[in-house]
Every structure is written in C-alpha cells, then in structure tokens.
Amino acid sequence: MSRKRLILNGFAMNTVSHVYHGLWRHPDSQQIHFNDLETWVELAQLLERSHFDALFLADVIGIDPSYQGNWDTYLRGAVQVPINDSSTLIAALIGATRDLGLVFTSSILQDHPFNFAHRASTLDHLSKGRVGWNIVTSVSHNAAQNFGFERIVAHDRRYAWAEEYMEVVYKLWEGSWEEDAVRADRRAGIYADPLKVHRIHHQGERYKVAGPHLSQPSPQRTPALFQAGASYAGRAFAARNAEATFIASRHPEGARRLIEDVRGQVRRAGRRADDLLFIQGLSFVVGSSEEEAQCKARELDELLCVDGLAAHISRDLGIDLGLLEPEQPIDELEVEGVQGILRFFEEANPGQRATVADLARAYAGTRLVGSPESIADELERWQDAGIDGVNVIYQTLPGTFREVAEQLIPELQKRGLAQREYAPGTLRERLFPGRPAHLNERHPAAAQRRRG
C-alpha cells in the first residue's frame, strides 16, 4: 500500500555554518562560497530536479557575545555570521527555478509591516505564487540593539507584537484590493477600479498604517505562512497563524506528543487540525550499507566543532555554556529546551550524566544514518507519529542534499513517500492538495477580507 507523501524542504541559511558547525571545512562543502549566487542556483536546481517542495532559508539579524562572554567562537567558526539577507537571496533564485517553493525568514523587528507586505507581494508576483514566509520574533539582544532597543522585549510581549504585525499585513494582503479591482483594460483605458481599492486605516499599539497596499493582489495574496518557535507562546502563535510549523523533536514519540498538543490548540483557535502542517527537522547520512553510512557519519563527526555547537545553543537558550567546563555534567540546568535534550541523552545512555559537549552534540538535532531502506523505514515511523514533512538539515552543502537526492529520494518515491512531479499551482496549493491558492475561511486573515 502506497503511503501519503512527505513534504520535503531543503533547510539552509545564507551564511557559512548553519547547524553542523565545523563542517564548512569539509572538502564536499561549498559553504564558504555563500556570497556567490552560483552556489545557491546550483542548490536550488538540485532540489528542484528531485522535486523538493521548497528551499527554506532560516535567518538571524544579530550576533551576541554569548559564549565565553565574547563573539570569538561565532566569527572564527562562522556560526551564522557573516550572514546575508534571506529574502534577497530568495528573490535572486526566482528566475533560476520554476516550481520550487522559496521560503524566507523575516523578523517583526527588522522590517516595518507596510514595507514588508509590499516586498512579500512583489516576491509572490515575480514567483507566480511560490513564496513562503517564516515568521520570527528574534531572540537576540544584539538584534534588538541594531534596531534601537536596549534589549529584546520579553517573550510574551514579542508575541503580542507579532499578532499586531500579522493584523497589519493581513489587512494589506487580504483587505485592501478587492478580487476584481484590476481590469487592465487597454481599450477602455482603465487599469484599476478606484472604488475597489481601500485604505486599511490601521491604528494599533505599535503601528499606524493608512494604506492602501501598493501591489495588486498576488497569486497567493498572503504568502504561505511558516513558523518555528517552540516556546509556549510560539506554539500558540503557530496554532492561530501558521500553515506549517517547524519542529525539532528527538524521536517519533516526542513528535507525536507535541503534534497532539498543538493540533488541540489549532482546533481551539477555530481552525481544522489539518490546517497546520508539522515539518520535522532531520539530517541524514545515507550509505549503500549500514556500515558504509556509519563510517561516513564518523568521518563527518571528526570535523564537527563542539565549541561552535555550544556557542549556538548558548545564543538560543540565553545561557553561556562557555563558562562551564566541557566535561562538566549539566543535568542541574533549569532551562526550557535543555531538559528535553538531557532526557533524550539519558534514555540513550543509561547511567551516564550529560556534559556540555554531549548537550552541544545533541543540539544539532536528530540524524538518521543508514541504508536508504532503513532510513525510509525510520521515516515511516516519523510519519506514523504525525509529521507531514521534513526539513532536511545539511551537514555539508550541497553534499548532504546531493546524497539525499541521489540515494534516499528514489527509495522514498518507490514507497510513495516522496513526490515524482510537481502538482500545478502555487506553493499553498501544493502543500494543501485540493485547496485554493488563498488562505481558507478559518484563518484569521480571512476576517480582513471585504465582503462584496
């Protein structure tokens, strides 16, 4: 019996080192050429040839001195710095692709919602409806300090801010131009009907925006909405607003519990449980045999930079692990996000206490190592736990993606787990087969539409 397909995204960042720090030094890695368009065109076309759903670009807008009290580890190891803007790269890839979804990240800190909505509509027009937006609120004090704040605003207040931001962009995308406002009638000399274009008159706590939106309605109007926050407020936000959420569970059972919880929140927000897709972050090492795969994995791990991983986790969690000894057990740390990783470590290593180095290695996420068949078996267990798709985390770029494309995807296609061709339509129509290009009526954006 053939299975439902998994959504597959290539997960990357417009920088040298995204998650598996240190591996930019590997000979298969082109990451030091991240400033060059050619690097990304090659990747995007590789993904498209294998019918990946999207290239998903994460982003950050600050660098904090979070490890050993300084920023040295970040800059030396190029841990997400230097980094270039993700939406600009996405724009540059439109012409090099035809079907691939193009998902960029933009924080509510970095762009005013009027300007942001305008740029996103431009991307959606130029790509004929292939863009997605990964909504983030930023966790970095330096990000805040780059935009005039003393430090990042508190977590819950950030999500209240995000809700107003969404209200503004929904009004612009959904409520400003009626569906039949544009006539483009050369003979009559009428491009648009002035009575069918509307100001939005937004007046909120942070924003005052008059409108109208300056772009006419794009294929999706609102780009496909992604979100990645794992905090309580982040999940509640995703349950209300997102169409796909990025999760980083350690094992299928953890994913199952998380998905059940969030699907409940989705229903309580007045949406259908399947209005939100769950995309699990996973990495892969594929070999023709288990042994070959394990051997390749060990070779990659030799280049892994534990300091870089510890710096990454320190920034994300707001605790400077560089002030602890690498071999110091850290089971006493009372930080949200760490406990799950520690529990996972202890289950896998009974009787051992995790050190900083263990935690750092585990933070890179779950990696499936094996033959195409054994990895496909494992992916079926993840699918049975409820995930809708996978963000493929690279170890080397484009090495990991080439390996997945050439060795794993044919096995997934055989089982129906991966698509063999693109369905027609926009990114939203491809993610939700049988549904329209625009957000459905249960989504809060629909409330901003004008009734005819």
Q: Does 198 belong to an annotated binding site?
A: no
Residue whose C-alpha is closest to residue 125's, from 177, 83, 194: 177
Cis preceding-peptide flag for 436 (omega within 30 of 0): no
**Residues 339 to 378: which contact a second copy by CB under 8 A?**
none
61: Cβ contacts below 8 Å, ≥ 6 apart: 107, 109, 110, 138, 140, 143, 146, 147
Which of 288-297 are b and which e, b meaning 16 or more Cβ less than 10 Å from the residue's Cβ?
eeeeebeebb
* Spatial distance between the Cα atoms of 113 and 172, rounded to a whole number of angstroms: 9
Contact call for residue 326 and a second copy (CB under 8 A): no
Contact call for residue 61 and a second copy (CB under 8 A): yes
**Residues 2 to 21: which contact a second copy by CB under 8 A?**
14, 16-17
Question: Which of 72, 163, 292, 331 touches a second copy by CB under 8 A?
Answer: 72
Contact call for residue 121 and a second copy (CB under 8 A): yes
Residue whose C-alpha is closest to residue 361's, from 277, 283, 262, 449: 283
Residue whose C-alpha is closest to residue 19's, from 227, 244, 283: 283
Contact 284, 394 (CB under 8 A): no
Question: Which of 13, 19, 83, 224 touches a second copy by CB under 8 A?
Answer: 83
Q: Does 384 belong to an annotated binding site?
A: no
Contact call for residue 211 and a second copy (CB under 8 A): yes
Question: Which of 1, 2, 148, 424 touches a second copy by CB under 8 A?
Answer: 148
Q: Does 283 belong to an annotated binding site?
A: no
Closest CB to a second copy among residues 147, 344? 147
324: Cβ contacts below 8 Å, ≥ 6 apart: 330, 356
The burial class, CB within 10 Å (0-12 / 13-18 / 19+), for 267 is middle
Q: For the chain, what is the total number of helices (H) and then of strands (E)?
A: 16, 13
Contact call for residue 302 and a second copy (CB under 8 A): no
Contact 163, 229 (CB under 8 A): no
Q: How far is the CB of 67 from a second copy (least distance, A)?
A: 11
Closest CB to a second copy among residues 73, 371? 73
Contact call for residue 205 and a second copy (CB under 8 A): no
Closest CB to a second copy among residues 92, 295? 92
Question: Which of 193, 292, 316, 331 touches a second copy by CB under 8 A?
Answer: 193
Q: Does 231 belong to an annotated binding site?
A: yes
Q: Does 155 belong to an annotated binding site?
A: yes
Question: Which of 19, 47, 78, 277 touches a second copy by CB under 8 A?
Answer: 78
**Residues 218 to 247: which contact a second copy by CB under 8 A?**
218
Q: How far is the CB of 434 from a second copy (least distance, A)?
A: 26
* Tokens found for residue 277: 């897709």
Length, in residues, of the chain: 452
Contact call for residue 1 and a second copy (CB under 8 A): no
Contact call for residue 134 and a second copy (CB under 8 A): no
- In this chain, which stretch among 191-199, 237-245, 310-318, 351-359 interacts with a second copy, using CB under 8 A? 191-199
Contact call for residue 281 and a second copy (CB under 8 A): no
Q: How far is the CB of 166 from a second copy (least distance, A)?
A: 17
Q: How far is the CB of 143 from a second copy (least distance, A)?
A: 9
The amino acid occupying position 68 is Q
Q: In the 8-state DSSP scheme, what is residue 217?
A: P
Question: Which of 50, 66, 110, 137 touches a second copy by CB under 8 A?
Answer: 110
* Tokens found for residue 29: 């890695």
DSSP of 164-207, one letter per residue? HHHHHHHIIIIISB-TT-EEEETTTTEEE-GGGB----EE-SS-
Q: Which residues are annotated as a binding site?
A: 59, 105, 155, 159, 231
What residues are designated binding site for FMN? 59, 105, 155, 159, 231
